[in-house]
Amino acid sequence: MESKTVVEAKTLIEHLIKRGLSFYTGVPDSLLKDFCAYISENLPSNNHTIAANEGAAIALASGYHLATGKAGVVYMQNSGTGNAINPLLSLADPAVYSIPLLIIIGWRGEPGSHDEPQHKKQGQIQEALIKSLGYAYEILSDNLKTALVQIDRLVIEMNKNMTPVVLLVKKGGIGGNLQQCKKGSSFTLTREGAIKTILASISEDDRVVSTTGMASREIYELREAAAEGHSRDFLTVGSMGHVIMIALGLAKFQSRTVYCIDGDGSAIMHLGSFGIVANSAPQNLRHIVLNNGAHDSVGGQPTIGHALPFHQIAKDLGYRSSYYADNLKELESALKNLAVAEGPSFLEVRIKCGARRDLGRPKTTPIENKIAFMECL
């Protein structure tokens, strides 16, 4: 079931601030895009930090508490709960340092609702998972007055027992105005255009592993349009930030050339994986980061991608060769070099954000994709 919009982001955040909650951090979620947009556009920049991953957000809010004695607000998609559990239980929990936190979670895959396959299991177990942590929680009501009372109950529990508490938000539970992607407009390449050029440059023997979100959807549609089939591509759904390690595992244990098509938000989540790849030194791995400086798949909230020289970072961490492109001519030239360079090799492509409004989704299931991909090896 999908609830209607019940609480405007402005109303919710103003209520939280009145309750002493003025610091916000987390990883953007499509169900919380209006919440994130209001924070980004209306709070002082020092009061809001988009974290690299959900666990880092828990740690940052814990540091805020140590410095000020106040509680912070951490937001995330429920797929990020796994990243948050370790610092929740080993840092913030009352059995350890007893850090008060209000955690706002967008409930993707809620039972009875339609969602993408990577959210199905997480959505089914979300309530049970929160209960297992032992933290008080509320499911945001479809009545504004009740919703504000729920928040007050959570804040009282949080402050009384110095503990994390959780507000679970269904689809449509928070409304407002969507923040459009504001970075990358100076670049001419689109992600889909860049991917089309990449796919055209690789051989039929090469294999592709792509990150979750828009990139995998665009690869699927480009293959469809070219009637090429999908067995050469592993279209990762979920597990954001881990695509390069999937590609490393593939490259280490078979001989084909592997192209990893990554995004800046994904790469930032687990940047240490760059060093592991470099140290493992698979000569058949090509790592491409499409950098639009935004969490494009969940509303266009900014990342620090355009402040990071990924190509230089990869080189410094030990990739054998590294390239950069921000227009079609440079991309075509870099891909030629990438194809013959000693691996692991790296390419950063600066692109503008946004995608076609009519962009579809893969029609095959993840298991069908896995089986076809493995058989094609």
pLDDT-derived band at 181, boundaries 50, 70, 90 = low
For residue 304, pLDDT over 60 is answered with yes
* Residue 298: predicted pLDDT: 81
* Residue 204: predicted pLDDT: 93
For residue 5, pLDDT over 80 is answered with no
The residue assigned the tokens 């009501």 is 141
- Per-residue pLDDT, averaged over 58-67, amounts to 98
One-letter identity of residue 105: I
Instruction: Give the residue among 236, 193, 235 at the shortest CA–CA distance from 351.
Output: 193
| pTM, rounded to two decimals | 0.91
**% of the chain beyond a pLDDT of 90:** 76
Q: Which residues of 8-21 are buried (b: 16+ CB within 10 A; e: fewer)?
A: bbebbbebbeebeb
pLDDT-derived band at 1, boundaries 50, 70, 90 = very low
Q: What is the pLDDT of residues 241-300, one digit of tens each?
A: 999 999 999 999 999 999 999 999 999 999 999 999 999 999 999 999 999 998 887 878
For residue 180, pLDDT over 60 is answered with no
Are 214 and 355 in contact, with CB atoms under 8 Å apart? yes
| Mean of per-residue pLDDT scores for the chain | 92
Q: What count of other Cβ atoms lies within 10 Å of the Cβ of residue 307?
A: 8
* Residue 58: predicted pLDDT: 98
* Residue 113: predicted pLDDT: 85
For residue 64, pLDDT over 50 is answered with yes
CATH topology for 7-175?
A: Rossmann fold (3.40.50)
Domain with CATH 3.40.50.970 in the chain: 7-175, 191-376
Are 254 and 199 in contact, with CB atoms under 8 Å apart? no
CATH topology for 191-376?
A: Rossmann fold (3.40.50)
Q: What is the pLDDT of residues 90-147, one digit of tens each?
A: 999 999 999 999 999 999 888 888 878 788 888 899 999 999 999 999 999 989 999 9
Are 106 and 29 in contact, with CB atoms under 8 Å apart? yes
For residue 2, pLDDT over 50 is answered with no
* Residue 184: predicted pLDDT: 44
**Which residues have CB under 8 Å from 145's CB, separation 6+?**
none
Q: What count of other Cβ atoms lies within 10 Å of the Cβ of residue 256?
A: 15
Residue 63: in which H helix or E strand, if any?
Answer: helix 54-68
For residue 3, pLDDT over 50 is answered with no
Residue 284 CA to residue 262 CA, distance in Å, equals: 16
For residue 169, pLDDT over 50 is answered with yes
Q: What is the pLDDT of residues 193-225, one digit of tens each?
A: 999 999 999 999 999 999 988 899 999 999 999
* Residue 4: predicted pLDDT: 53
**% of the chain beyond a pLDDT of 70:** 96
For residue 179, pLDDT over 60 is answered with no
